[in-house]
């Protein structure tokens, strides 16, 4: 891994932009992102060049700053559930966006670029299984953590949830504290999340 914060490896550049490593590698190979090769044959990207390339290409992604709050997209067709979860995560210093079904989740996942999606399993039109598969199989959204909430945590459903690509699941009704803890655990690779949230709580 690169020790210079201004020089990024392919995985570091992908994480910085919120895309998959494969997407970043394709952009580098296509010449959309400037890079150089080390004597050892490894590609490196200068952070300032990355930002310039993104702006020049007009790519629809957000350059996330290291001190930015975590973002959660709540997907549920139950208004009472949505309002409760929205209030909970706002209190925990998350940025929150709402979607009412799987189709809307796909659109807002690209627009809002969340770090985490809280996804209800049973919804009209496109259910949680279909929405999860769609998001995880799309290069621009596959990096997003997905936590599915279900009132039917049967062995068959749990297996289907994991097969769909979900990062984890919780059985309804969920305890708010446990939901927040689970969300933070899923975001542990975003090293700034817990520190940011804890600092907010101290204020």
pLDDT of 68 above 60? yes
Distance CA 36, CA 7 (A): 10
Q: Does residue 192 carry a pLDDT above 60?
A: no
Class for the domain spanning 7-57:
mainly alpha
Lowest model confidence (mean pLDDT) among 23-32, 91-100, 159-168, 188-197:
188-197
Mean pLDDT of the chain: 82
Question: Residues 161-181: what's their mean pLDDT?
Answer: 92
| Distance from C-alpha of 100 to C-alpha of 102, rounded to nearest angstrom | 7
Cβ-proximal residues to 38 (8 Å cutoff; 6+ apart), any chain:
44
Query: What does the DSSP 8-state code read for residue 77?
Result: S
Domain ranges in the chain with CATH number 1.10.1660.10: 7-57
* Segment 171-197 mean pLDDT: 76
Closest by CA position to 132, among listed 90, 93, 168, 183: 168
104, 192 contact by CB (below 8 A): no
String of b and e for 97-115 (b: at least 16 CB within 10 Å)? bbbbbbbbbbebbbebbbb
3-state secondary structure of 56: helix
Helix, strand, coil content of the chain in percent (nearest 5): 45, 15, 40
What was the pLDDT predicted at 80? Answer: 94
Looking at domain 71-202, its CATH class is alpha beta
| d(C-alpha 32, C-alpha 27), whole Å | 5
Put the strands of the sheet holding 43-46 in their side by side order: 7-8, 43-46, 36-37
pLDDT (tens digit per residue) in 116-168: 999 998 887 788 889 999 999 887 888 889 999 988 888 888 999 999 999 99
Of residues 150 and 67, more confidence is placed in: 150
Predicted confidence at residue 199, as pLDDT, reads: 56
Domain with CATH 3.40.50.2300 in the chain: 71-202
């Amino acid at each position: 891994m690169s020790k210079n914060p201004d020089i990024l490896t392919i995985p570091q550049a992908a994480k910085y932009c919120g895309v998959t490593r494969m997407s970043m590698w394709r952009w580098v190979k296509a010449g959309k992102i400037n890079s150089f090769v080390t004597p050892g044959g490894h590609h490196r990207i200068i952070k300032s060049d990355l930002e310039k390339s993104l702006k020049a290409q007009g790519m629809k992604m957000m350059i996330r700053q290291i001190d930015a709050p975590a973002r959660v997209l709540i997907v549920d067709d139950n208004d009472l559930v949505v309002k409760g979860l929205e209030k909970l995560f706002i209190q925990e210093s998350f940025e929150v966006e709402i979607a009412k079904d799987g189709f809307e989740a796909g659109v807002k996942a690209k627009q809002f670029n969340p770090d985490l999606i809280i996804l209800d399993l049973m919804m009209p039109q496109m259910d949680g299984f279909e929405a999860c598969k769609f998001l995880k199989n799309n290069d621009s959204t596959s990096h997003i953590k997905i936590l599915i909430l279900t009132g039917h945590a049967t062995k068959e459903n749990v297996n289907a949830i994991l097969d769909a690509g979900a990062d984890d699941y919780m059985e309804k009704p969920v305890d708010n504290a446990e939901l927040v803890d689970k969300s933070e655990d899923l975001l542990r690779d975003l090293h700034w999340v817990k520190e940011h949230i804890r600092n907010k709580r101290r204020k």
